[in-house]
Amino acid sequence: MQAVFLYWDYLEEIIKEVNMRKILAFDLGSSSVRAILGIYEKEKLQCKEIHRFENQPVYENGKLCWNFPVLMKEVKKGIQIAGKVDSIGFDSWGADFGMLDESNSLLGLPVHYRDPRTEGMTDKVWKKIPEKRLFQMTGNQTYATNSLYQILACKEKEPETWNKVRRILHIPDLFHYLLTGIAVCERTIASTAQILDPFTKEWNPQVMKTFGIPQSIFAPLVDSGTMVGSYEGAAVTAVAGHDTQSAGAALTKDPENTAFLNIGTWSLMGMDQKKPMISDEAFKLGISNEQSAFGEAQCLMNMTGMWLLQECRRQWAQQGMDYSFDQLEIQADEEDKDLCLIDVNSPEFIAPGNMPEKIQQYCERTGQKKPDTAGEITRCIYKSLVCEYRRNLECLEKGRKKRIAGLQILGGGVRSPRICQMTADMCGRTVTAGPAEATALGNILLQLMAMGEIRNRDEGRRLIRDMEKYAVYRPSEDGNAEKIYESYLGLLQQEKGRR
């Protein structure tokens, strides 16, 4: 009889394992990488971080690059830690890519979007296709970091390298290829390139022809949720390769009336749309368009995010002052005056290097009182960021010609009650905060959909809503909000006149 019970226990374990799905999501950020293991069983999802490592750029041949061999080594370590899984997916920042030669070997390390090699490229492009026309053709606003300008910089400044290029793969697709040997180009990450047609969702032949970019260097385009191949028995799934779109897949509030604000190194605010927004007004407002994880258009506002404070922390740590984010927020709260504001998107803040000094020099140049302490600088950054969030929210509303009722903050910003409340106060909207790991959750959700475990996005979003705890921040009576915002807009106007 004992043997019968033991055999039954064994069968139960087998049945449990058959009904359970283990999903591994790699969320590659520009400062750190997280491996999140999701366990889906009985229509419930549990997630835990199993591996995290820093993403430190390096210099190669005078260019700022991503240390891809280290990233690949750590990714394989994460896969090993996870053990047997059913599927693996990757998401990352947009625009950057690796270049392969005819033997399918990397032609050097992938270059970092903050490398200055694209300086001056935008003006050269506009001489052939005016900026507004390029926006209409691709849906993307012009940023020197876009893949188009990086490709043209390589073509012009490194012709020997360019002549060897046989394949270009964006960062998530590069991982897919190196794990499976199969090259694809997932559409959400492709839509960060400023080469994709926003209506056909195919490469724009006119852009390629104008700039002499052969379409053959790009892999076949695939939709989010496409199983590419396999690695050690696990499916390798092309999720929404652009981390913003994976995060957007985890939006749980009413998407018709709520914009998401994904706060990380960059801050991105967006909403799904049935059609791309490429009107003259959308162009003037700075609205960009990408492909969403579910095949729709997504209107986006791109802003600098916690990069400014990340760089300040790095500088202070080098000087022996290793502040945590919590410590800096406490110091900021102790400052009783709003001394200054900065244009968070100003060009001088793009490159790494002594960010506190750059902020101080900016304030002096614009006739403001220089922030001296870490608390004053942190307060300056936070106040400026939330002003920029409000400005972008108002731009989205003008473009949509419809009020946006609320915001859902996703990503690392969720962990800061201070930034969440300041955003609610400045924007005058209710803010729902969560999930903090929205990008990884969206990544996992898309893998489960690819496996047929989840039928559609609504079912997936309900799954996330049921497993997550959310904080709600309502606008308080902040009498200084309007005054600070007016000062911010005045500063932007002043800077626009100077440029």
b/e map 65-89, b = 16+ CB within 10 Å: bbbbeebeebbeebbeebeebbbbb
The first and second tokens of residue 451, run together, are 């496996």
Q: CA–CA separation, 66 vs 270, rounded Å?
A: 27
Query: What is the residue-wise DSSP string for 172-197?
Result: HHHHHHHHHS---EEHHHHTTSS-B-
**Do 335 and 379 touch, CB atoms closer than 8 A?**
yes
Angle in degrees, CA 350, 353, 356, rounded to 5:
90
Q: Using the 8-state DSSP alphabet, how is residue 103 labeled?
A: T
d(CA 198, CA 148): 15
Catalytic option among 91, 243, 272, 425: 243
Give the three-class secondary structure for 334.
helix
Q: β-strand 234-238 against 87-92: which pairing, if any?
A: parallel
- Neighbour-count burial for 396-423, b at 16+ CB within 10 Å, e otherwise: beebbeeebebbbbbbbbbebebbbbbb
Residue 312, class by beta-carbon neighbours within 10 Å (0-12 exposed, 13-18 middle, 19+ buried)?
buried
243 given a catalytic annotation? yes
Between β-strands 87-92 and 97-100, what pairing exists: parallel, antiparallel or unpaired? unpaired
- Catalytic residues, which ones? 243
